[in-house]
């Protein structure tokens, strides 16, 4: 839901003449906080809250794109990814985000696990559950935005789920899933970029295609 909602920020950025990535970051973070807030209300389910922001973001993105003066030639790269559009600043942002995530999970792995799997127990232990949930949603939103140029809006959700699904085939331990999913995601990105270079196809689609091949192969091996 957040991946597609961020398209509204891209359209707004194009319309306002500012960086589409900056617009996507603001829109993604606000959408993440909105989903978190709405899903905690008794009169709305979480999947309904996600659907609201998903459709709102896509609708605003399309509207702003059509209202923008001139032509936005690189708009498709935000939808499907293009490795050629990645700049040094994008790499710097990815590096800073990776360091921040590593520090956060190293310091708070056990509270994160408690909040993710049993928030009522975590609340009974006096943990700031709401704060952890909002910080995690913030990191999810920023991770999505940081991956937009590489895999695109349409495919970013796959990059955030397929490696973890593959790792979960071999272990149920949370810490092992983290390390395995990092390794599988890295291999999937390298293999996808090789396919993209060899066949001259978008990098995002290639990465997801190769990641799904890895999942299918691991599924067969597991059986």
DSSP-assigned states of every residue in 8-29: HHHHHHHHHTS-HHHHHHHHHH
- Please give the pLDDT value at position 220: 96
- Distance (Å, whole) CA 35 – CA 215: 29
Evaluate the CA torsion angle 17, 21, 25, 28 in order and state its sign. Answer: positive
Model confidence, pTM:
0.86
The band of 165, judged by pLDDT with boundaries at 50, 70 and 90, is: very high
Least confident of 37-46, 101-110, 177-186, 198-207: 37-46
**H or E element: which one contains 65?**
helix 46-67
Considering only residues 201 and 106, tell me which one the structure prediction assigns the higher pLDDT.
106
Note the pLDDT tens digit of each residue in 111-146: 999 998 898 999 999 999 999 999 999 999 999 998
All domains of the chain in start order, with CATH: 2-152 (1.10.3470.10), 161-223 (no CATH)
168: helix, strand or coil:
helix
Least confident of 99-103, 104-108, 195-199, 201-205: 201-205
- How open is the CA angle 110-188-186, to the nearest 5 degrees? 50
């Amino acid at each position: 839901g957040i991946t597609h909602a961020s398209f509204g920020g891209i359209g707004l950025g194009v319309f306002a003449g500012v960086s589409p990535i900056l617009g996507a970051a603001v829109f993604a973070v606000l959408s993440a906080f909105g989903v978190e807030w709405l899903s905690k209300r008794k009169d709305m389910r979480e999947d309904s809250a996600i659907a609201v922001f998903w459709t709102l973001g896509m609708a605003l993105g399309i509207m702003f794109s059509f209202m923008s003066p001139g032509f936005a030639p690189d708009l498709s790269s935000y939808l499907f990814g293009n490795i050629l559009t990645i700049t040094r600043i994008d790499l710097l942002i990815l590096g800073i985000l990776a360091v921040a995530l590593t520090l956060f999970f190293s310091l708070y792995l056990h509270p994160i696990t408690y909040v993710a799997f049993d928030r009522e127990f975590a609340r009974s232990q006096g943990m700031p559950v709401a704060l952890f949930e909002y910080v995690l949603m913030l990191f999810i939103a920023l991770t999505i935005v940081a991956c937009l140029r590489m895999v695109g809006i349409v495919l970013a959700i796959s990059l955030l789920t397929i490696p973890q699904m593959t790792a979960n085939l071999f272990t149920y331990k949370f810490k092992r899933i983290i390390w395995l999913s990092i390794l599988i995601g890295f291999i999937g990105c390298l293999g996808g970029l090789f396919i993209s270079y060899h066949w001259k196809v978008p990098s995002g689609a290639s990465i997801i295609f190769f990641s799904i091949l890895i999942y299918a192969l691991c599924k067969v091996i597991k059986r």
